[in-house]
Amino acid sequence: MNKMLTVQPLTIEAFRDFGTFAALTPPGATPLVRGETIAFWPDCGGVLSLGPAGNNEVAFGICQVQWRELQVDVSEIHTSTGEGNLPIDGDVYIHVGRPTCDDAIPDELAIFYVPKGTMVVMKPGVWHHAPFATKPGETVNVLILLPQRTYANDCTVREPATPIPFTR
């Protein structure tokens, strides 16, 4: 094969036979969560099918986190699915808690330092929430992997009675 290939623009029409694509933070798209230090766009980068059986489609989302006070003031669980977090352009802290018998945040949580480029996969039922940027003034983009529409179908969010501080 001595044919010369030519780079072409990535368009839905041109790429249709090969798959799909989307900007992970689409211009003008409204995030599901928008706060001073956290913005989250779920299900925004297409869906990856992992095979023919069960709930096997992974949706991609982006969570942008800025430096904020080092305290856990909200947590969430997904009872039927795990979740993947991949900090793309900065390091983050994550909080996690073991699954509970009810929908209450556990008394004991753990905080972990996650270097950029490190995929963390949490088991179903593990308490967690948006990661924390590790440096003041920094914004970190975190790729979130979950089954499509998890936030509509399998998400319990709770706030502790008082925020739980942590230190570096």
Grade residue 30 by pLDDT with cuts at 50, 70 and 90: confident
Residue 153 parent element (H or E): helix 150-153
Grade residue 47 by pLDDT with cuts at 50, 70 and 90: low
pTM of the model: 0.80
Q: Flag whether pLDDT at 51 surpasses 60.
A: no
Instruction: Between 43 and 82, name the one with better pLDDT.
Output: 82
Which residue carries 């998400």 as its tokens? 155
Angle at 132 between CA 134 and CA 152, to 5 degrees: 160
Read off the pLDDT of residues 76-129 as tens digits, 9 standing for 90 and up.
Answer: 999 988 899 999 999 999 999 999 988 889 988 999 999 998 989 989 999 999
Instruction: Return the CATH architecture of domain 31-165.
Output: Sandwich (2.60)
164 close to 132: Cβ distance less than 8 angstroms: no
